[in-house]
Amino acid sequence: MNIQIFGTNKSFDTKKAQRWFKERRIRFQMVDLKEKGLSRGEFDNVCRAVGGWDKLVDPAAKDKDTLALLQWLDESQQADKLFENQQLLRQPIVRNGRQATVGYCPDVWENWA
């Protein structure tokens, strides 16, 4: 099992995910989205795993202007704009190989163990 948690230290759901894996003694790698975002390959793999880039968007993100812009772009441009503005991503993004979840999903992670 190769768990990666993408999020920020200020995100409560990211902290809860870290605690969930620590309590079960499951090793994970934490990737701070403020320091190092998702690579393009990781972003594309997560999009495929969760069923599309739109599942990654956090409607409560602080950058309301970019959120509004996402709605008006062509479909071909929307994923690129989201990749460029990773502050709009829901957190945490948890990857296990080709599987991924967005948000706090302990019921799904339980099946990974």
pLDDT tens-digit map of 18-69: 999 999 999 999 999 999 989 999 999 999 999 988 899 999 888 889 889 8
pTM attached to this predicted model: 0.90
44 in any annotated domain:
yes
Q: Which residues contact 5 (CB under 8 A, 6 or more apart)?
A: 14, 17, 18, 21, 28, 29, 30, 31, 92, 93, 94
75 in any annotated domain:
no
Report how far residue 62's alpha carbon sits from residue 83's, in angstroms, rounded to the nearest whole number.
16
* Number of folded domains that form the chain: 1
Q: 7: domain range?
A: 3-56+90-112
Name the band, by pLDDT with cuts 50, 70 and 90, for residue 113.
low
Q: For the domain that residue 24 is a member of, what is the CATH number?
A: 3.40.30.10
22 in any annotated domain:
yes
11 in any annotated domain:
yes
SS3 for 96? strand
